[in-house]
Amino acid sequence: MQTAIDISDKLVTMRAGLSLGEAEVLKSLLEANGVPVFLTAGHMAGLNYAVTTDLQVRVVDKVRADGLLNHVEAFPAPSKPTTNVDIETMCPTCGSFHLRPVVGAMNTAIPFLRIHASPSDRWFECYECGARFQDRLERFSSLGVALAWGAVLGAATLGVIWLLTWLSL
């Protein structure tokens, strides 16, 4: 038996990349005005502050939720970049060139561990999706790593063959 999916059951993301506290404040605002809200990764965001959550509402409630959220100024967008960002640098998550450099202490996925970003480290935050990333070259060449692993595994295989041959004598 096939069931029809009603368009009113589909969810649309209203705000992305929120901390759990910000998401809960916006959720209470919307639910107080009769708009049901769903938070993605809400429980994980509560366990680890580096995890972000998205605020979603039903498609039929999008216009009403958008009207309510447009009046919220508690969570301002990041300020515009004060230094020039190379045009070659783009967000690996969404491909946007709208970036700002990040300098100072940054949260990590490990609770209570923060790293310090200096201008020479080239950390950026994307205005479009909120992702933070470091623009750097890879430390290892993939061909060199592949050849090294091939040599190690080949030597191990030859060692096992030699051992089996020696034991069979």
* pLDDT per position as a tens digit, 8-44: 678 888 887 777 788 888 999 999 999 999 888 766 6
Query: What's the CA gap between 37 and 15, in Å, rounded?
Result: 11
- Please choose, from the candidates 135, 140, 111, the residue with its C-alpha nearest in 3D space to the C-alpha of residue 122: 135
- Max CA-CA distance within the chain? 84
State both tokens at 74: 């508690």
Both tokens of 31, joined, read: 């639910």
User: Where in the chain is CATH 3.30.70?
Assistant: 7-69
Helix (H) or strand (E) holding 160: helix 142-168
Rounded CA gap, 104 and 79, in Å?
15
Task: Name beta bridge partners: 104.
Answer: 117
- Look at domain 7-69 and name its CATH class: alpha beta
Which residue(s) pair with 107 in the sheet?
Answer: 114
Helix, coil or strand: residue 91: coil
pTM for the model: 0.43
How is residue 141 written in tokens? Answer: 């060449």
> Per residue, what are the HEC states of 43-89?
HHHHHCCCCCEEEEEEHHHHHHHHHHHCCCCCCCCCCCCCCCCCCCC
Condensed to tens digits (0 to 9), the pLDDT of residues 138-166 reads 565 667 778 888 999 999 999 999 999 99
What pLDDT band is residue 75 in, cutting at 50, 70 and 90? low
